[in-house]
Amino acid sequence: MKYRSEITGVGSYVPPKVFTNFDLEKILDTTDEWIQQRTGIIERHWVDDETSNSDLGLEASLLAIKNAGLDKKDIDMIIYATLSPDHEFPGTGCFLQAKLGLHEIAVLDIRQQCTGFIYALSIADKFILSGSHKNILIVGSEIHSKGLDKTPRGRNVSVLFGDGAGAVVVSRKELLDSKKDSRVIATQLFADGAFAKELWIEAPGVACGNDRISKEMLDEGLQYPQMNGKTVFVHATKRMAECLGSVCQEANVNLADVDLFLFHQANLRINSKVAEMLSIPEEKIFNTIQNYGNTTAATIPLGMDDAIKAGVLKKGMLVASAAFGSGFTWGSAVFRY
């Protein structure tokens, strides 16, 4: 018997508190006009209490499992993508596993930042096709707000990020018709660590010298994300366009055949530029960055859930996704939903 990996359930969750650009004007020495022109972001959701990353992941997971028509006990693996873990160790997937009441199943945490969901989907697909697992829960979840420099010093980065979680269940099914079956058709993954310091958090870390963390590091703000925006923009547009074309070629589909594009939501200008480079009609791209900001590993499953709720994404549609992020990492996927 030949298997296929089908996305059978999708769920998402964002904290209820909304922070608009006008809210940020009061603390970051910025303006709504500046933020919208450069990013496309209008508002984002930030936690304002003791909510943890795995709390957000739990809410999204329960919805994805329910929408898949499964019971929690049917899940036999969790792949958790995040760069904002509950704790340095163990991985946040273990905390989610305990909250779900699932004992002994495999849990895998991955740190591929904005490309985390694409990496996780590719990993899940290969476990499913091997026949070793039946229902894999993928979670992309972030709480950025607790780790941002909310002073004018950090405004160029802090306006970009939001909190939220998205989850999907990938299930093993029998492959009957390779052209019509809902399935993951192709994924491609890439990285180039030569650019790791163009978008990173320097401290704390064991590579920082004799101390993982020191008062001097904190005073310098090394615990906050730093980004070379121009370099990221150039590489993001180039790499996303490249891997989209490449994965479609591997999947033996034309870009024109794709019904919907679900891009990582880092910057509206990046997505528009990729669309221009590949002659993709804007109406085929479903963007959510205006409402959520960049939720890193959560953006694609969060956007998928919104697209389903809006009636834009329907069963049987051909979907292409691409993401680019810190590392540098990037990747793409083609699947029939």
Closest CA to 16 of 42, 40, 48: 48
252 as an active site residue: the answer is no
- Cα atoms in the Cβ-side hemisphere of radius 13 Å centred on 269: 11
Angle, helix 32-39 to helix 268-278, in steps of 10 degrees: 30
Token reading at 166: 């998205």
Catalytic pick among 264, 267, 271, 291? 264
45 as an active site residue: the answer is no
Catalytic pick among 114, 133, 135, 243? 114
DSSP track, 20-81: EHHHHHHHHS--HHHHHHHH---EEE---SS--HHHHHHHHHHHHHHHTT--GGG--EEEEE
Q: Is the bond preceding 328 in cis, omega lying within 30 degrees of 0?
A: yes
114 as an active site residue: the answer is yes
CB 334 within 8 A of CB 186: yes
Cβ atoms within 10 Å of 38's Cβ, excluding its own:
16
What are the beta bridge partners of residue 321?
262, 333
Question: What are the backbone angles phi and psi of residue 258, rounded to the nearest 5°?
Answer: -70, 130
CA–CA distance, 146 with 148 (Å, rounded to integer): 6
CA dist 156 to 49, 82, 162, 224, Å?
A: 24, 22, 14, 12
CA 325 to mean position of chain CA atoms: 10
193 in helix, strand or coil? helix
Token reading at 193: 């660590």
Active site residues per annotation: 114, 264, 294
